[in-house]
Amino acid sequence: MPASFDDLSIGQVENLGVAAVDPEALKTFVSAFTPGWSADRGAPDAMVFAIWARLDAIAATDWPQTKRLGVDALRWMRNPPAGELLRGRMTVMAKDPVGEDKGIVIAQHDLLDEAGRLVFSCLTRSVFTR
């Protein structure tokens, strides 16, 4: 990831890392947060979101991002089964400088399964330092 807002370019794609749908975590999540859901149906939407949020949080620790302003346009395409490896990516869609020390970055985030199919997608707005 570039060192500052000014180093980012529209269309730039950043890797968010990979995470598997852990079978034990799936059972625990379903039991705790999605009554009536069967783990045989794959990871419920809330768990898919949580997997993305974890990958995003880990990746963002090295970014010049100072604040997440919003997460919009959430889309769930499928519920990945236990053991499925998910890959996260972020694509810079737009950026707008705000003063001399910061800028707003609009990005699309995707989770893809092992076959490259879209599992989850969302748009984010974040503040980055200049």
The neighbouring-strand residues paired with 2 are: none
Whether pLDDT at 2 is above 90: no
- Phi, psi dihedral angles at 70 (to 5 degrees): -170, 155
pLDDT 10s digits, 92-120: 999 999 989 999 999 999 999 999 999 99
Residue among 72, 71, 69 at smallest CA distance from 103: 69
Q: Between the CA of residue 104 and those of 29, 62, 88, what are the distances in Å?
A: 34, 17, 21
Q: pLDDT tier at 43 (50, 70, 90 boundaries)?
A: very high
Q: pLDDT tier at 62 (50, 70, 90 boundaries)?
A: confident
Residue 67, pLDDT score: 94
Q: What does the alpha-carbon distance between residue 79 and residue 85 come to, in Å, rounded to a whole number?
A: 12
Whether pLDDT at 3 is above 90: no
- What H or E segment, with its residue span, contains residue 45? helix 45-60
Q: How many CB atoms lie within 10 A of CB 118?
A: 13
Residue 97, pLDDT score: 96
Q: pLDDT tier at 13 (50, 70, 90 boundaries)?
A: very high
Residue 58, pLDDT score: 95
pLDDT 10s digits, 21-40: 999 999 999 999 999 999 99
Q: What does the alpha-carbon distance between residue 65 and residue 35 come to, in Å, rounded to a whole number?
A: 36
- Token pair, residue 15, equals 């890797």
The CATH number fitting domain 5-129, selected from 3.10.310.10, 3.40.50.970, 3.10.129.10, 3.30.360.10: 3.10.129.10
